[in-house]
């Protein structure tokens, strides 16, 4: 028999939360250990800190009498902590996964499917008898995986396809690429501003690159890299040039038997984006993207569905990739946040699973959240603050995180100033 709460004391609404570190090989050595106050003398890669109830690595929360798995807490008290609207909409887990991510090496080029694609794909793979552990499995669950992220350092990434006119210039301007698709500039003149025609032309170019014989990809990319490597080694290539990332990718992702990863072509086709701290982007279904270098906070729907388009030793399913990618060209929208009350900046995303915001408290600053909010996870990244809810107060130092139950008013205060990020579920 568990101990019952006394009737006079209100139920706990603030839970100190302990995330789980993912040691993927591309992770940095210092940032996440520094945030968590742990030593890393042996230089293990600390790639991601996961805050949430994802079954692969659920966080732990402090409750009276010890620590428990967040999944277990939500199973027991889901209705109170998630709120009835969120529980009804998403079931008994947090609908989002919140991360701090530190990319020392580049990540694969990837795209995430829509909910409808995930449902169909997951059903097809299940009926084909593929177990979840099969490395060829594209769809791990039936959910979509939109993502919003905000840089915490200078941050480099690839996001979406560049305007086709720029792609035409790249193909014409790099001698190794001139034989690649002589038809491209001509067709571009024909399609002009027609969106469907432009998408079809881009699809054709991308499909051509992704299905060309490996020997052909090796020959073209080998020629290009032979010119670029001496420049890279001499330090003459800058991060603002796709050439820099092409050499880095070739060295990070060598294929067996000396083959070259054709994902390198995509570095030239996609927008190379530099973000400053506080700037971010949204990756909706079908938008190709890759994190190249830097530290960010990332908030996504609770899903594991990724299709890879190169720069990876993992499985690349070209047919499924071509069905999933949106062949839109243009420039990405850089999110700088929308100013709200109490030092909060919102990074709204066109999905109902999550809302990311940044709370910057000046010295003696206050941020108050009323009773109408979803479940929140807060993480303190700089400075110190304290948070108070009915009958409870917790100190938040750098690296501390907490879960606040839905609809319970809370108030943040800092005497010396603090920076926090907040993940929540928008109430609709």
144 or 162: CB nearest Zn ion: 144
CA atoms within 13 Å, Cβ hemisphere of 215: 0
Both structure tokens of 115: 């909910």
| 51 touches 17 (CB < 8 A) | yes
Q: How do beta strands 344-347 and 338-339 pair? A: antiparallel
All residues at 6 or more sequence positions from 2 whose CB lies less than 8 Å from its CB, including other chains: none
Minimum distance, C-beta of residue 305 to Zn ion, in the bound complex (Å): 10
Minimum distance, C-beta of residue 45 to Zn ion, in the bound complex (Å): 19
CA angle 239, 243, 169 (to 5 degrees): 115
- Give the helix/strand (H/E) hosting 169: helix 164-173
Minimum distance, C-beta of residue 53 to Zn ion, in the bound complex (Å): 20
Dihedral over alpha carbons 369, 373, 376, 381 (to 10 degrees): -30
110 or 296: CB nearest Zn ion: 110
145 vs 299: CA distance, rounded Å: 10
Residue of 3, 23, 18 whose CA lies nearest to 401: 18
- Give the helix/strand (H/E) hosting 160: strand 155-161
50 or 184: CB nearest Zn ion: 50
Minimum distance, C-beta of residue 324 to Zn ion, in the bound complex (Å): 12
53 or 110: CB nearest Zn ion: 110
48 or 344: CB nearest Zn ion: 48
Minimum distance, C-beta of residue 304 to Zn ion, in the bound complex (Å): 11
CA angle 54, 56, 61 (to 5 degrees): 55
Helices (H) and strands (E) in the chain, counts: 11, 22
335 or 396: CB nearest Zn ion: 335
Both structure tokens of 354: 């999550």
172 vs 384: CA distance, rounded Å: 54
Minimum distance, C-beta of residue 111 to Zn ion, in the bound complex (Å): 8
110 or 118: CB nearest Zn ion: 110
The full DSSP string for 92-105 is: SS-SEEEEEEEESS
Minimum distance, C-beta of residue 395 to Zn ion, in the bound complex (Å): 34
- Which of 80, 198, 308, 358 is catalytic? The answer is 308
CA angle 93, 97, 102 (to 5 degrees): 155
Backbone angles phi, psi at 82, to 5 degrees: -85, -25
Minimum distance, C-beta of residue 290 to Zn ion, in the bound complex (Å): 8
Both structure tokens of 369: 């959240």
Active site residue 308: yes
Q: How many CB atoms lie within 10 A of CB 306?
A: 16
Q: How far is CA 307 from the centre of its chain?
A: 14
x/- track of binding to Zn ion for residues 76-115 (CB under 5 A): ----------------------------------x-----
Count interface residues toward Zn ion (CB under 5 A): 1
Residue of 394, 232, 253, 267 whose CA lies nearest to 313: 253
110 or 266: CB nearest Zn ion: 110
DSSP-based helix, strand, coil % in the chain, nearest 5: 30, 30, 40
Binding site for Zn ion (CB under 5 A): 110
Return the active site residues: 308
């Amino acid at each position: 028999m568990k101990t019952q709460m006394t009737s006079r004391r209100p139920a706990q609404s603030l839970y100190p939360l302990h995330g789980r570190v993912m040691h993927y090989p591309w992770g940095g050595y210092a940032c996440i250990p520094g945030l968590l106050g742990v030593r890393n003398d042996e230089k293990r890669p600390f790639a991601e800190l996961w805050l949430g109830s994802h079954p692969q690595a659920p966080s732990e929360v402090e409750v009276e009498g010890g620590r428990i798995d967040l999944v277990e807490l939500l199973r027991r008290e889901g209705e109170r902590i998630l709120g009835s609207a969120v529980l009804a909409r998403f079931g008994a887990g947090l609908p989002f996964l919140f991360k701090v991510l530190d990319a020392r090496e580049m990540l694969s080029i990837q795209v995430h499917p829509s909910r409808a694609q995930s449902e169909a794909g997951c059903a097809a793979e299940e009926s084909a008898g593929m177990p979840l552990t099969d490395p060829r499995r594209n769809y791990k669950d039936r959910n979509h995986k939109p993502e919003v992220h905000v840089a915490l350092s200078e941050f480099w990434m690839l996001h979406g396809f560049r305007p086709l006119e720029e792609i035409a210039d790249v193909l014409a301007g790099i001698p190794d690429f001139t034989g690649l698709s002589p038809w491209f500039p001509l067709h571009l003149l024909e399609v002009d501003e027609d969106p469907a025609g432009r998408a079809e032309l881009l699809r054709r170019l991308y499909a051509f690159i992704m299905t060309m014989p490996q020997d052909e990809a090796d020959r073209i990319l080998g020629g290009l890299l032979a010119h670029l490597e001496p420049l890279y080694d001499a330090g003459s290539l800058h991060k603002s040039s796709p050439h820099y990332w092409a050499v880095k990718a070739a060295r990070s992702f060598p294929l067996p038997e000396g083959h070259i990863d054709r994902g390198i072509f995509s570095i030239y086709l996609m927008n190379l984006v530099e973000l400053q701290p506080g700037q971010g982007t949204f990756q909706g279904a079908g938008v190709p993207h890759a994190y190249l270098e830097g530290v960010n906070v990332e908030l996504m729907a609770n899903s594991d569905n990724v299709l890879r388009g190169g720069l990876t030793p993992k499985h690349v399913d070209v047919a499924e990739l071509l069905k999933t990618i949106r062949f839109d060209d243009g420039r990405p929208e850089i999110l700088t946040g929308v100013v709200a009350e109490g030092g909060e900046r919102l990074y709204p995303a066109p999905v109902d699973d999550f809302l990311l915001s940044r709370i910057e408290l000046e010295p003696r600053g206050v941020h108050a959240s009323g009773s109408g909010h979803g479940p929140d996870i807060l993480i303190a990244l700089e400075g110190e603050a304290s948070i108070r809810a009915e009958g409870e107060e917790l100190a938040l130092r750098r690296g501390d995180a907490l879960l606040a139950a839905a609809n319970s008013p809370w108030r943040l205060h800092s005497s010396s100033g603090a920076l926090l990020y907040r993940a929540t579920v928008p109430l609709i």
